[in-house]
């Protein structure tokens, strides 16, 4: 836990360094703009389409057909609320995708030059590997999100599901990106596995903070930098150990 807190504090310190502010804001602002505009354009139609499908749902369909106009209005409003709730994780995922593929490599260069200049670069990863890892994690996130939609009718379930899926997405994307320039191919695979519990907790912290108003604009960048600090510090420690201790 101490290493998680240390990485979190170092990430905050890195965020306030000169030149970081733009990389901190643009992925979240662009993602929010895109999804809010899409929501305004299409959520009404999607809710209407969902409402039109309800009569065919077993048990629920008969009740819905027999209910009055006020019930239909309430159901339509509920569907729109649920769809707008989905916009929040989609904004976060889009911001994370932009951050992982574009902004984080630039931020990583600054952080590495300042805090990890002593760490040898072994280039075990690549930009293509980063993009592939991010896209696979994104597909997994979206599939699980769609499959979980019926559970969102349970109060609070949508928030829990979004946090858990966001935690996994953070872990999968940022673990690769943090190490790709400095780790060799073996370290790139071994370190995320060895520190999986701590990285999961770090991802959960970011997943929870992503739903806090205002903070959600800086969480993707903070999360990426926290993973960078945690894993590069872990890499530094492991390289200082005798080989037999590293392999244990």
Q: What is the pLDDT of residues 125-144, one digit of tens each?
A: 887 888 888 888 888 888 88
Taking the CB of residue 22, how many other CB atoms lie within 10 A of it? Answer: 9
Q: Please, how many CA atoms are within 13 Å of residue 5, restricted to the half-sphere of its CB?
A: 2
What is the C-alpha separation between 164 and 148, in angstroms, rounded? 12
**Model confidence band, residue 244 (pLDDT cutoffs 50, 70, 90):** very low
**Lookup result for tokens 């976060």:** 92
Of 29, 47, 49, the residue nearest 91 (C-alpha): 29
Element (DSSP H or E) covering residue 33 = helix 21-53
Residue 40, both tokens:
């305004």
Q: How confident is the model over 184-241, as pLDDT tens digits?
A: 989 898 999 999 899 989 888 888 887 777 777 778 778 888 998 999 999 998 888 6
User: Which DSSP symbol is given to 24?
Assistant: H
* pLDDT tens sequence across 69-81: 666 666 667 777 7
pLDDT (0 to 100) of residue 231: 93
User: Where residue 1 falls among pLDDT bands split at 50, 70, 90?
Assistant: low
**CA geometry: angle 187, 190, 195, nearest 5 deg:** 115
pLDDT surpasses 90 at 92? no
Give the residue from 203, 206, 89, 208 showing the smallest Cα distance to 149.
89
pLDDT recorded at residue 154: 77
């Amino acid at each position: 836990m101490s290493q998680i807190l240390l990485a979190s504090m170092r990430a905050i310190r890195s965020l306030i360094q000169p030149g970081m502010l733009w990389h901190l804001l643009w992925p979240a602002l662009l993602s929010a703009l895109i999804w809010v505009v899409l929501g305004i354009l299409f959520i009404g139609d999607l809710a209407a389409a969902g409402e039109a499908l309800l009569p065919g749902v077993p048990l629920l369909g008969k009740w819905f057909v027999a209910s009055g106009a006020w019930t239909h209005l309430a159901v339509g409003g509920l569907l729109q609320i649920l769809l707008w709730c989905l916009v929040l994780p989609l904004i976060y995922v889009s911001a994370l995708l932009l951050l992982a593929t574009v902004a984080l490599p630039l931020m990583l260069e600054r952080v590495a030059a300042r805090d990890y200049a002593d760490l040898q670069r072994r280039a075990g990863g690549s930009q293509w590997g980063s993009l592939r890892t991010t896209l696979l994690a994104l597909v997994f996130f979206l599939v699980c999100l769609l499959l979980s939609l019926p559970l969102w009718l349970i109060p609070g379930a949508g928030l829990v599901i979004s946090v858990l899926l966001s935690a996994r997405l953070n872990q999968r994307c940022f673990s690769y990106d943090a190490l790709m320039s400095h780790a060799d191919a073996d370290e790139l695979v071994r370190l995320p596995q060895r520190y999986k519990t701590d990285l999961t907790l770090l991802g959960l912290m970011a997943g929870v903070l992503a739903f806090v108003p205002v903070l959600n604009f800086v969480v993707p960048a903070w999360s990426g930098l926290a993973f960078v600090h945690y894993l590069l510090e872990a890499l530094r420690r492991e390289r200082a150990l005798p080989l037999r201790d590293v392999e244990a």
